Structure 1
Amino acid sequence: MRKLIAFLCAGETLLGTLDEAPGPTGLLIVSGGNEIRIGTHRGMALLAQRIAEAGHPVFRFDRRGIGDSTGDNGGFESSADDIAVAASSFRAESGVTRIVALGNCDAATALAFFHARAGIDALILANPWVIEPTDDLPPAAAIRARYAERLRDPREWLRLLRGGVNISKLISGLAKASRKQSQQADGLPARLGSALGHGDIPITVLLAKGDNTAIAFHDAWRGAAFETARARVMITELDSASHSFASAADKQWLYEQVLAAL
């Protein structure tokens, strides 16, 4: 049975969807970016249905200012209250005693920051967001990866020689590719590294290897900020460039990873 649930957060009304099941361990799905709880191409709704059929209740919700929920959209950095009240409502409505939370993109980063307050018992973080945007170009690590791939392709050299490459864009890309990620103590990579390095709950990071956000995270992961996290966080990678795990094979892989964590 799937039902809609309204609950309050800081004076605003949030809408959530509960896929009911008898199991004591449930999945809380937190949407990334400005995505509504259904997910890209209904991906999260379909995942919730399959997980519930496997015996685990699933709760999805729209944070303030997104989808069916009222209020202002303050972005993932302001979602601590939303995640906490969603987890509380999930417990109250389903009776679950253990919550595993799944987030993609900046929802993964939000869960890393705010899970303790919500009393979440385990995390599945897909393609965590570590990018502090400065322009419209992809992150530097993603640009480096793309150039390395193209340099191995003779057809790309022919395109360059024949004038098929935008030189201005190429120069801009090379300039950004030479930059390092922020090493500031208050920068997003450092904050995420600290969050992942503390606590004692199980954390699994899922990466679509060809996705720009995942490439940026993998680049940050090798830095000093993640030294403690590397000892306690498990990373699993999928050979895909789909940020939202869009293909049937990607969806099956994601389902298997989530079910294993549950």
Structure 2
Amino acid sequence: MTRLSLTFGCGSLTLVGTLDTAPASTGLLIVSGGNEIRSGAFGGQAEMAARIARAGFPVFRFDRRGIGDSEGENRGFRHSAKDIAAALDAFRAMVPQLSRVIAFGNCDAASALMLAGGAGCDGLVLSNPWTIEPGEGAGADNTPPPSALRARYRDKLGNPREVLRLLSGGVNLAKLGRGVIHALRPPPPPSSLAQEMAAGLGGFSGPVRILLATADRTAQVFAAGWDPTDPRISRCEGAGHAYVEPQHRDWLEAQILASLRA
């Protein structure tokens, strides 16, 4: 495996990417979420790229316009389709043996891929898609959606230690009451962003995996507004947004490798 830093064009602007070389004809395009640079939080995406490349698959990461080393204005994930398309073209040009490209995105990177209808990729791995619009529905505060609260209370009632806390007065009853009231509310309607994402993904014909970290509020809000019977959904129990625990990181990478090998 060799790691190469390089530049490519997006219109008149120059973007910067990193390629981890490998011999397979299927490659992984990593799309960064938020305002994160291509190395990822604490270098997590760079480390993942190295492990995927050691498994035999080339990996390309990039900074979109206005982020990290790339030129231009940062206009957010809603306006990143051109960046993703330019990165995909550059990846294919740099790795001529590629016949398939699977894109991976976490949080609003997953949302960007959905809004772009896959952005020309052959398959998608979408993790914890961001569906929260400012001031809209479940995104208006930090309270988990009713379905997540109900699941939390079911877990607590099944834990003898938590039941003992309740019976011994170790639980704030006022807070518990507010939580129960919220848990009994009907699910909020899907946000306008979620509806746009569903429409974009509906036009994509390639294989899709939707990965949800169950301890992550972003994933909880997504699940509350998405079809719960969608067979493309897989859940990582207890995982947080970035899958930082070793067992959660291994689960995530196993999901990505399964898509690359399919």
The alignment's TM-score, normalised by the length of structure 2, stands at 0.83
Query: Contact 2:239–2:248 at 8 Å: present in 1 too?
Result: no
Quick check: 63-72 or 103-112, which moved more? 63-72
- Contact 1:140–1:179 under 8 Å retained in 2: no
Q: Which runs of 5+ in 1 are unaligned?
A: none
Equivalent position SS for 2:121 = coil
Q: Is the 8 A contact 1:140 1:178 kept in 2?
A: no
Q: Which residue of 1 aligns with 2:71?
A: 70
The answer to whether 1:111 aligns with 2:113 is yes
Structure 1: how far apart are the matches of 2:182 and 2:127?
29
Matches within 5 A, 1:1-262: 1-95=2-96, 96-116=98-118, 118-134=119-135, 135-141=140-146, 142-143=148-149, 145-146=151-152, 149=155, 153-154=162-163, 157=166, 171=178, 178=185, 180-183=187-190, 187-222=192-227, 230=230, 234-262=232-260
Q: What residue ranges of structure 2 are gaps of 5+ in the alignment?
A: none
Classify the secondary structure of the residue corresponding to 2:9: strand
| C-alpha distance 204-158 of structure 1, shift in aligned 2 (>3 A) | same
Q: Cα offset for 1:59?
A: 0.2
Secondary structure class of the residue paired with 1:221? coil
Give the CA deviation at 1:199. 2.8
* 127-136 or 13-22, which deviates more: 127-136
- CA distance, structure 2, for counterparts of residue 173 and residue 68 of structure 1: 47
Cα drift, residue 255 of structure 1: 1.4
Counterpart residue type for residue 234 of structure 2? T
The letter for the 2-side match of 1:98 is R
Contact kept? 1:208, 1:242, Cα under 8 Å: yes
Structure 2 distance, partners of 1:106, 1:158, is 42
- Does the 8 Å contact 1:3/1:18 carry over to 2? yes
Greater mean alpha carbon deviation, residues 125-134 or residues 192-201: 192-201
Contact 1:137 / 1:173 at 8 angstroms: preserved in 2?
no
Aligned-pair distance for 1:139? 4.4
C-alpha displacement of 1:149: 4.9
Q: Is the 8 A contact 2:117 2:200 kept in 1?
A: no
Matched letter for residue 5 of structure 2: L
SS class of match (2:112)? helix
Paired letter, 2:75:
G
Q: Deviations over 1:160-213 (max 9, x none)?
A: x5785785x9859956984743346xx112222222333311001111122111
1:166–1:132 Cα change, 3 Å: farther
In 2: Cα distance, 1:119 partner to 1:249 partner: 32
Please tell me whether the aligned partners of residues 150 and 156 of structure 1 are also in contact (alpha carbons under 8 angstroms). Answer: no
2:190–2:226: 8 Å Cα contact kept in structure 1? no
How many Å apart are 1:99 and its aligned residue? 0.5
The CA RMSD measured in Å over matched residues stands at: 2.7
Q: 2:190 touches 2:225 (CA, 8 Å); kept in 1?
A: no
- 8 Å CA contact 1:6–1:16 kept in 2: the answer is yes
Q: State the SS of the aligned residue for 1:8.
A: strand
